[in-house]
């Protein structure tokens, strides 16, 4: 089920990013080896009452040199477009300002639920300061303090009440949902068009689960697919759509709804830092990943060309060692037909389940080859393992003491599991858990 999205909107300095960080807490995870991925986050997962949701700090979307008013307008538009519920934040110490009224005007026109948060109410004596905010017309103002973490529970209680009922939106389990991500001009729209042409089966453009996303369903053989639209594919030309953070935001939303993510690289331009950052998001989300090297027609096709490019990719994308690499040209359509079979394989592996007894045969063989390590004279004992979930395949390994299960040993077990069962195209997760 798609997670609901909450956006925080308000003029600068009311405390949006402070609250964002509070709500996200320690959930911001770190992707190994990818500098910059988690810096300046404006989109992250949070949770309240066992309901996970995604949250956007619109204040983090910068629009170059645009005047403040334009920036605020664009940020509010992003919130209106992208979210299910908007937290409109004001500063309780300063009262209503002209800028607050500007933001309010834009929000009146949206038909999204809006929850008014009055921040910087650092102690209960200050609560009277919230009453003037009733005049903004968004109902009851919620007093909060980002600095002291006050009032956030009441605020979130109200926010989650407004989440849409997603039961009818559930995806069809037999359909493979995929998206194409990559920096601007890497060839995402060209490849979508080439794919659809190849398959000769554009069914129709149907409105997706989010109002402005266009999902394209098609069939190849007996398999149903849906391509999820990503940033850069529909160029509406708004200022905010040209900003990097906004396109990342759209990519993240598409990734979220995908089973398989095709991460594109431009053969002509080579690999740049931004490619790694974008691919990192797909990995981090636990999706199946295929690396697609597009514009292969521009490369001198000598014998070793593919091998050399592959080595470069492996060196740059250490965290994606499970992802197959496909070389193709959206323009000449060369090798386009090799892509869909890879998408199917990756998707199958993403939902593959291994029976516990077969899994444990492999684990026991692995232990015999490379006995569990010890630390400070204490020896790791691996008792048994079991697969607890799919999308991505996730394993729990029961051990005497999880502290003794070093990262390198997890990695070793992962390699053994991959050797035995494949899992090409999908990340797998392994968690040690204590059992005496």
The minimum distance between CB 384 and ligand GDP, in angstroms, equals 46
The verdict on 247 binding ligand GDP (CB under 6 A) reads no
Q: Looking at beta carbons only, is 95 or 184 nearer to ligand GDP?
A: 184
Q: How big is the site for ligand GDP, counted in residues (CB under 6 A)?
A: 32
Binding string to ligand GDP for residues 148 to 187, with x set by CB under 6 A, is what? ----------------------------------x-xxxx
Q: Minimum distance between the CB of residue 13 and ligand GDP, rounded to whole angstroms?
A: 4
The 7-26 contact track toward ligand GDP, x by CB under 6 A, reads ---x-xxxxxxx--------
CB of 189 to ligand GDP, least distance (A): 4
Which is closer to ligand GDP, CB of 247 or CB of 347? 247
**For ligand GDP, what does the binding mask look like between residues 131 and 150, x meaning CB under 6 A?**
--------------xxx---
SS (H, E, C) the chain: CCCEEEEEECCCCCCHHHHHHHHHHHHCCCCCCCCCCCCCCCEEEEEECCEEEEEEEHHHCCCCCCCHHHHHHHHHHHHHHHCCEEEEEEECCCCCCHHHHHHHHHHHHCCCCEEEEEECCCCHHHHHHHHHHHHHCCCCCEECECCCCECHHHHHHHHHHCCCCCHHHCCCCCCEEEEEECCCCCCHHHHHHHHHHHHCCCCCCEECCCCCCEEEEEEECCEEEEEECCCCCCCCCCHHHHCHHHHHHHHHHHHHHCCEEEEEEECCCCCCHHHHHHHHHHHHCCCEEEEEEECHHHCCCCCCHHHHHHHHHHHHCHHHCCCCEEECCCCCCCCHHHHHHHHHHHHHHHCCCCCHHHHHHHHHHHHHHCCCCEECCEECCEEEEEEEECCCCEEEEEECCHHHCCHHHHHHHHHHHHHHHCCCCCCCEEEEEECC
Q: What part of residues 216-235 is at the interface with ligand GDP (CB under 6 A)?
A: 232-233
Choices 96-104, 128-136, 325-333, 381-389 (CB under 6 A): range interacting with ligand GDP: 325-333
Give the one residue of 5, 23, 59, 210 binding ligand GDP; rule: CB under 6 A: 59
According to the binding rule CB under 6 A, does residue 120 interact with ligand GDP?
yes
Residues that bind ligand GDP (CB under 6 A): 10, 12-18, 59, 119-120, 122, 145-147, 182, 184-190, 232-233, 294-295, 297-298, 329-331
């Amino acid at each position: 089920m798609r997670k609901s999205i909450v956006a925080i909107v308000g003029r600068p300095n009311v405390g949006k990013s402070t609250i964002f960080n509070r709500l996200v807490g320690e959930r911001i995870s770190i992707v190994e080896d990818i500098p910059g991925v988690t810096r300046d986050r404006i989109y992250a997962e949070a949770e309240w009452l066992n309901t996970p949701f995604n949250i956007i700090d619109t204040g983090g979307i910068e629009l170059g040199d645009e005047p403040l008013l334009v920036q605020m307008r664009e940020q509010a538009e992003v919130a209106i477009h992208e979210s299910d519920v908007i937290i409109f934040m004001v500063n309780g110490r300063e009262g209503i300002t002209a800028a607050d009224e500007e933001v309010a005007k834009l929000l009146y026109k949206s038909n999204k639920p809006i929850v008014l948060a009055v921040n910087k109410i650092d102690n209960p004596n200050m609560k009277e300061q919230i009453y003037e905010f009733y005049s903004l017309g968004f109902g009851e103002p919620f007093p909060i303090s980002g600095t002291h973490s006050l009032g956030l529970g009441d605020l979130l209680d109200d926010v989650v009440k407004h989440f849409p009922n997603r039961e009818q939106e559930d995806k069809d389990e037999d359909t493979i949902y995929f998206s194409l991500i990559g920096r601007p001009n890497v060839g995402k729209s060209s490849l979508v068009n080439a794919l659809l042409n190849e398959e000769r089966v554009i069914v129709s453009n149907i409105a997706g689960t989010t109002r402005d996303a266009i999902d394209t369903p098609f069939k190849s053989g007996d398999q149903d697919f849906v391509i999820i639209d990503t940033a850069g594919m529909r160029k509406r030309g708004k200022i905010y759509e040209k900003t990097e953070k906004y396109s990342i935001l759209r990519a993240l939303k598409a990734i979220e709804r995908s089973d398989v993510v095709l991460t594109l690289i431009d053969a002509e331009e080579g690999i740049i830092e931004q490619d790694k950052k974008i691919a990192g998001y797909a990995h981090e989300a636990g999706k199946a990943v295929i690396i697609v090297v597009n514009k292969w027609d521009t490369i001198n096709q000598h014998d070793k060309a593919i091998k050399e490019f592959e080595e470069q990719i492996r060196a740059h994308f250490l965290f994606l060692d499970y992802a197959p690499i496909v070389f193709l040209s959206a323009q000449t359509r060369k090798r386009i037909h090799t892509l869909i079979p890879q998408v199917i394989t990756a998707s199958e592996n993403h939902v593959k389940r291994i029976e516990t007894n077969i899994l444990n045969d492999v684990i026991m063989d692995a232990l015999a080859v490379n006995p569990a390590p010890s630390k400070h004279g204490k020896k790791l004992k691996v008792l048994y393992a079991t697969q607890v979930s799919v999308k991505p395949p996730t394993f729990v390994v029961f051990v005497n003491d999880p502290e003794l299960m070093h990262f390198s040993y997890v990695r070793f077990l992962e390699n053994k599991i991959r050797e035995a069962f494949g899992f090409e195209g999908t990340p797998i997760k392994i968690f040690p858990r204590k059992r005496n």
